[in-house]
Structure 1
Amino acid sequence: MTAEAVELAQAAEELTIPSVPQLVADDATPETIGTLLAQQNGRISCMGAEGELFDIIAGRYTGKPNMGMFLKGHAGDMIRVNRQSREAEHIDSPAVTVGLAIQPEVLDSLALADWTDPALLTLTPEADAVMLAFQKVTEARLGRDGSFAPIVKWASKRDGAVARIAGLLHLASHPEDGWHKPIEAATMAAATELGVYFTAHALDVFDTMSADPAHDAALTVLAHLLSSRPPQITKRELFRSLRRADFPAIGDLDPALSLLEEQGWIRQQPPPPRTGRGGRPPSPRYETHPHIGRGA
């Protein structure tokens, strides 16, 4: 009985008591929001009829602004908070929803509230010439036989990305009055150099992705599912309906199924309980995406 009591006590210590579900927080500090995110599986909302949240972010209780928790909750960036008084809090993909019904006076009190016009960043004629030359290179390589053909969707956006990089480099070099000065040719040239670097990286990445044998196999399986439109299907049923030339053995389906599940096209269901001993285990069953059932 003593041994059983010790075993039960150890098991009780390992139990994790779930937090009481909470959907909405109000008048909460950024630190409290981090704790709530950790307790609520990375999801919390801040709702209110007033603008108190702005005062809290601006430093009502600490005397200094603290926006990090809300910015990461908006972007979905990982949050890890280490404190001396309690265990570290780690949230992989936080999501913070903010909904405030506020009076116009609250917005008037915010920083830069009286700024009615956007700050426009301009180019010197020399910087404009550098950008134009870069755009001509992009345009020449976007054709069917061009070097950017494998990444045409990505490459069609690279000129705009390079322009924004140039703006960031310019503001980093002139943090006090950068919006009053035009972007110079040297800054634009540095941005295009980064654009060339990221373009080479994109070409390698897309080439590696297309070379993945699971990619072609997954497309074959997906095409079959779209034509047959099953709401559910087992691995064995799928194997029997495919050509042996494409999948000689049932195990050859595994990479394709893993990729399709990763992309959200299928979802493996929990196996049914075994009622007897021996025999062949049931084949894994997959639920297909609703778009497959509609033939989309």
Structure 2
Amino acid sequence: MASPAEAGGPVWDGAPVPLRTDRLLRPFPVEVFPGWLADQVTAVAEATQTPLDLAASVALACLSTAAGGRVLVKVDRSWTEQVNLYTVTALPPGSRKSPVFRAMTSPLSAAEDALRELVAEQRVEAELASRVAWARAEQLAKKAEVAQANPTEALADATAAAKEATGIVVPELPRLMTDDVTPESCISLLAAHGGRMAVLSAEGDVFATLTGTRYSAAPNLGVFLKGHAGDKLQVDRKGRPAETIERPALTLGVTTQPGTLAGLAAMPGFRDRGVLARILYSLPANTVGSRNNQAEPVSEAVETTYADALRTLVLVLAGDQYSNPDDGPRQLDLTPDARQVLLEFQDWLEPRLDPRTGQLAPITDWASKLAGATVRLSALLHVAHTFHHGYAQPITDDTMRAAEAVGRYYLDHALAVYDLMGRSDPDLDDARTVLDWIRKRGLDIFTRRDALRGLQGNRFATAKDLDPALTLLTEHGHIRPRLTQTTSKGGRPSTTYEVHPATHTTS
């Protein structure tokens, strides 16, 4: 079919505008970090010529690795929050994500080594005690098998010895993190390490592995969902002992590409089961093309201070898990002023969640969890500032305000990411669907009735459902209406739309 321009129609007024929402995103408030952490984040960003957001979000994942499962926050009698986070930072290929990731996470390996040294002696003693106990139990079992006199007593002795041997637990070698793990392996790691584990990866395909979608069309989201909320996780497997984690605390720290985020919403269950709502997203400005390739490297003093502080933080928060395994997580409280700051933030947030009129209605699933995420952030900032002189004191109003600043940063970026996924604005998502239909068919002209026939389903049940999308496409210059035409059979008129010639090449 000839285009309107070729047919002598009016000239189009400029090129079509891409269907995307460009938001002004606030910078990460790095000043909320203590000096040892802020200096490292700033220095790494300068040395790699990457946005501060990247190193800062990975830094929060490192704090979550240290504190997850070891700290709880009691907001009030009925509200207790864990402090583990899921953070995902997206930048295009070639933007030096991996070097930043290594610089921020490498001290955690040294912390793992230090924890292993802490339990090395316990482990040797437990292994030897277990061997001796099982040898004695085996010896008594053999005697019970052949006992002629007092067989009941012999059996009781053998049973008691077996119970004693079974009760000796050899501590696992401490482990804080993994980078490529299936749902089943993740559950086993959580069970073996006190219910806490961090999945830290510079590759975005960790989502496909962690949820099982790489190997199966049906995702296993249980560990992802319960590992964030701290809900009891129990798995029974054929031929293997059941694994139960009373309060799992999973940390997720991922750097990836924007295209990976765009595909997350299409993964089965990710939106409707709440996976997307649990993630703190960062979508920094790309610095590629404006980088200084002679930037100063991170100074040895800054690097050493950071590594020592992060290692000490891990030992302070995680050490009790191995030296006193019966001790549960520490509980933090809020000062009355901190509780008031949180309440005011909740009051600001609530009307914006209204599904009819709220500014955040398109991302209510995510935004409704923002207050809880802010509490978690406040606890991580609190322990990062105070671990060296006693972190058990209550969280203050200043710390809660700092956490709110970080929460608002992530709110801005969540809106941008949901735009990218086509999920923050339903009309925009519908317009993209219609535009995709136009392009796949190579259309130059179509009617409203054509569009409904081609797209009718759950998304577009009636022609009226199409109108917002067609209006958006018109406003963006992709299409323009012609005069309403009546069908040859005398039916109801249907508007005809012309398609801009550049629409088939414009994003």
Structure of higher RCO (CA pairs closer than 8 Å, 6+ residues apart): 2
What TM-score do the two structures reach when normalised by structure 1?
0.41
What TM-score do the two structures reach when normalised by structure 2?
0.25
